[in-house]
């Protein structure tokens, strides 16, 4: 146990100073035309477009508009001003909840996970409530939730990284943007393990059991989405990603999630032709002595 503040608290204060807000009667896009924002966008576009070099015919602004909302652009801009991101390069993955970009920073290649601040349902709702004074603040509340989620993923990464779990090294979290080490080579993300043909699957199963053990016993977390989608294969070793949903071992459903993770690993092992009893993996993960698989 560590005696620091509870990393998983969702009530940790969110500083208003962090947010660059544009309020007033302007419609969603009018604010972009204000002269004081012109330079900001030219800067960001210049850097982002260098990663979209293959589509010079499309207006940079259009591409940006479709991917990022204005608070996201401001968050990226802040990270650039702070020197965390030097250049945002090409997209690596586009998902329902987040886009992941390859980026360059002072230490080299990074992955920048940009969470959508509005989901489809919420976006639809916004149409009806925007401009209605009774609902001011709702959009803001939604963004705050995303910010909390990003900080949670950052804290979970820190806790796992600290204990030697193979996860991307966390670099920064700001609003809906998470910055971490890039897992991959020459700008190409390492493949998810489900796409890899493994030479020695048994070793990998043991390695993954060891990581679940570290996550549970040392980081005191349950990953809660430990699937072949969230494990990358890099330099002949598995790397665990996507830890935003991981919960503290004290969470009321932590054990349920842990069991699910163990079952997933077990069934994946089976599909790889590795016949290892479920109980062995479970014992290794939860028991202090374990199966003696640690190297």
| Span of 4-12, 92-100, 142-150, 281-289 interacting with ligand ADP by CB under 6 A | 92-100
Residue 7 found at the interface with Mg ion (CB under 5 A): no
Report how far residue 176's alpha carbon sits from residue 116's, in angstroms, rounded to the nearest whole number: 7
| Span of 38-46, 53-61, 89-97, 125-133 interacting with ligand ADP by CB under 6 A | 89-97
Q: What is the residue-wise DSSP string for 127-147?
A: HHHTT-GGGTTHHHHHHHHHH
Q: Do the beta carbons of residue 162 and residue 219 sit within 8 Å?
A: yes
- Count of Cβ atoms closer than 10 Å to residue 46 Cβ: 11
Residue 8 found at the interface with Mg ion (CB under 5 A): no
Query: Which residues share a beta bridge with 192?
Result: 232
Q: List all residues 6 or more positions away from 89 whose beta carbon is below 8 Å from its beta carbon.
A: 50, 51, 101, 102, 103, 104, 187
Shortest distance (Å) from residue 246 CB to Mg ion: 12
String marking each residue 200-239 x if it binds ligand ADP according to CB under 6 A: ------------------------------x---------
Which residues in 202-231 contact Mg ion (CB under 5 A)?
A: 230
Using CB distances below 5 to 8 A depending on partner kind, what does residue 116 bind out of ligand ADP, Mg ion, none? none
Binder among 48, 75, 88, 98 for ligand ADP (CB under 6 A)? 98
Binder among 7, 153, 228, 242 for Mg ion (CB under 5 A)? 242
Q: Which CB sits closer to ligand ADP, 123 or 188?
A: 188
Q: Do the beta carbons of residue 175 and residue 203 sit within 8 Å?
A: no
Binder among 41, 101, 149, 182 for ligand ADP (CB under 6 A)? 182
Which residue is nearest to Mg ion, using beta carbons? 242
String marking each residue 48-87 x if it binds ligand ADP according to CB under 6 A: ----------------------------------------
| Span of 11-19, 95-103, 210-218, 270-278 interacting with ligand ADP by CB under 6 A | 95-103
240, containing H or E segment: strand 237-240
Q: Do the beta carbons of residue 101 and residue 47 sit within 8 Å?
A: no
SS3 annotation, 142-188: HHHHHHHHHHHHHHHHHHHHHCCCCCCCEEEEECCEEEEECCEECCE
Q: Determine the size of the site formed for Mg ion (CB under 5 A).
A: 2
Using CB distances below 5 to 8 A depending on partner kind, what does residue 184 bind out of ligand ADP, Mg ion, none? ligand ADP
Alpha helices per DSSP H over the chain: 30-33, 35-49, 60-67, 70-81, 120-129, 138-162, 201-217, 254-271, 278-286
Which residues of this protein are in contact with ligand ADP, per CB under 6 A? 92-93, 95, 97-98, 100, 111, 113, 168, 180-184, 189, 192, 230, 241-242
Give me the residues that bind Mg ion (CB under 5 A), please.
230, 242
């Amino acid at each position: 146990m560590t005696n620091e503040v509870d990393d998983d608290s969702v009530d940790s204060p969110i500083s208003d100073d962090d947010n660059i807000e544009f309020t007033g009667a302007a419609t969603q896009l009018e604010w972009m035309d204000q002269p004081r924002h012109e330079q900001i966008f030219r800067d960001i576009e210049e850097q982002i477009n260098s990663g979209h070099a293959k589509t010079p015919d499309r207006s940079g602004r259009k591409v940006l508009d479709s991917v990022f909302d204005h608070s996201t652009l401001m968050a990226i801009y802040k990270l650039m001003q702070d020197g965390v991101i030097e250049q945002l390069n090409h997209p690596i993955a586009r998902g329902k909840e987040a886009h992941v970009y390859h980026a360059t920073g002072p230490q080299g290649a990074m992955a920048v996970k940009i969470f959508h601040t509005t989901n489809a349902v919420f976006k639809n709702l916004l149409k009806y409530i925007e401009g209605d004074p009774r609902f001011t603040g709702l959009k803001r509340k939604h963004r705050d939730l995303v910010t909390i989620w990003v900080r949670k993923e950052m804290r979970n990464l820190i806790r796992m990284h600290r204990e030697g779990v193979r996860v991307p090294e966390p670099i920064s979290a700001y609003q809906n943007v998470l910055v971490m080490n890039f897992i991959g080579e020459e700008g190409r993300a390492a493949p998810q393990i489900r796409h890899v043909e493994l030479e020695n699957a048994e070793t990998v199963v043991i390695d993954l059991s060891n990581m679940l053990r570290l996550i549970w016993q040392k980081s005191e977390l349950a990953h809660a989405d430990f699937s072949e989608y969230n494990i990358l294969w890099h330099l002949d070793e598995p790397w665990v990603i996507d830890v935003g949903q991981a919960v503290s071992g004290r969470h009321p459903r932590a054990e349920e999630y842990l069991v699910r993770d163990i079952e997933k690993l077990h069934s994946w092992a089976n599909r790889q032709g590795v016949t290892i009893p479920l109980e062995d993996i479970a014992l290794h993960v939860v028991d202090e002595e374990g199966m003696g698989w640690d190297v």
